[in-house]
Structure 1
Amino acid sequence: MAAAIAAGCLLMASCLPAKMDTYEKNLEIPGHRWSYDHKPVFEVTVSPADTAYLYNIYVNIRHTDAYPYSNIWVLVDTQFPGDSTSHPRRVELPLADASGKWLGSGLDDIYEHRIPIQERAILNKPGTYRFTFEQNMRQNPLPYVMNVGLRIEKAGLR
């Protein structure tokens, strides 16, 4: 009897919609040369239950030590569920300190950064949020950028 109840509870729990604790996706930059034309897109689905939480939003960057700058400017374009209008924002992502030492974690000649762009964000509409990244540096294409990604993690209840 107890086994049947436990199996029933497990079955009911598996039918509930999945909640988002963390979303993370990283996309490769073709040829490790990020051009203006290459705009990685990330789609994040937020359930009604997930709208009760605050979120920290990060941009992930992976580059080689041959990357020629101490930062990278990125246009982060956000489209909210049910909204045809996009909301672009230009953000600076620091990659090195004033002395030129790379920030983030490094292994051999590859460096990875997880840089916060918004803390305690409110995603108050259920549905799919669409984030598009565009490199916004003067140099095109931008060499030695290997991957770019998006990470969104829960930061607690609102």
Structure 2
Amino acid sequence: MKKVRLILTGLLVVAIVQLSFTSCKHVDLFEKSVTLPGHKWDNTYKPSFTFNIKDTTSAYNLFIVLRHNDKYNFNNIYLNLITKQPGQDTTQKARYDLTLATDEEGWRGTGMDDIYEHRIPLTPANQQFRFRKPGDYTFTLEQIMRENPLRNVLNVGLRIEKKQ
């Protein structure tokens, strides 16, 4: 009986330690996705995401979250990311060419049946991204592909997490 109790106590300690290490990898700050009506993304529809930043000393990871089905016709997607910072009326626009698939490997995202989800980092792994001011930030996504509407895109969103 004492051996069983000792083994269970040991397993409990290992589980707690493992959970504490896995929970320290990153801190989710914000994640939101919108569903695209009819699984089509018209270039006039520009979803916006507003979130509040309090900590300007930490580094952050930014991701585009995109879900599409297997009928999506392209290996990539071109997007503009439009950023409005706290206390400013002007915006900054950055263009991205995001790879979703390669000819050799197929879709890069995780898949279930014919649905694929991509969490594509916007911040290179060797770089630090910091928000300069505390306050509300608004990020707007604009698809700039030649096909309009862009078919077979189910959801699009933004994810922000603190780098640890």
Q: What is residue 40 of structure 1 aligned with on the other side?
A: 47
- Structure 2: tracts of 5 or more residues without a match: 1-26
- Residue of structure 2 aligned with 1:123, choices 128, 131, 138: 131
Give the alignment's Cα RMSD to 1 decimal: 1.3
- Structure 1: tracts of 5 or more residues without a match: 1-19
**TM-score if structure 1 supplies the norm length?**
0.82
Shift of residue 132, structure 1, vs aligned partner: 0.3
**TM-score if structure 2 supplies the norm length?**
0.79
Q: What is residue 100 of structure 2 aligned with on the other side?
A: 95
> Residue by residue, what CA displacement relative to the aligned partner does 1:105-139 show, whole Å, maximum 9, x if unpaired?
00000000000012421112011010000101000
Instruction: State how 1:75-154 maps to structure 2 within 5 Å.
Output: 75-99=80-104, 101-119=106-124, 120-154=128-162
Separation in structure 1 between the aligned mates of residue 150 and residue 132 of structure 2, nearest angstrom: 35
> Residue by residue, what CA displacement relative to the aligned partner does 1:134-157 show, whole Å, maximum 9, x if unpaired?
10100000000000010000014x
Q: What is residue 5 of structure 1 aligned with on the other side?
A: none
2:139 is paired with a residue whose SS is strand
Equivalent residues, number: 135
Separation in structure 2 between the aligned mates of residue 21 and residue 134 of structure 1, nearest angstrom: 24
* More strand per residue: 1
**Structure 1 residue runs of 4 or more that deviate by more than 6 Å after TM superposition:** none
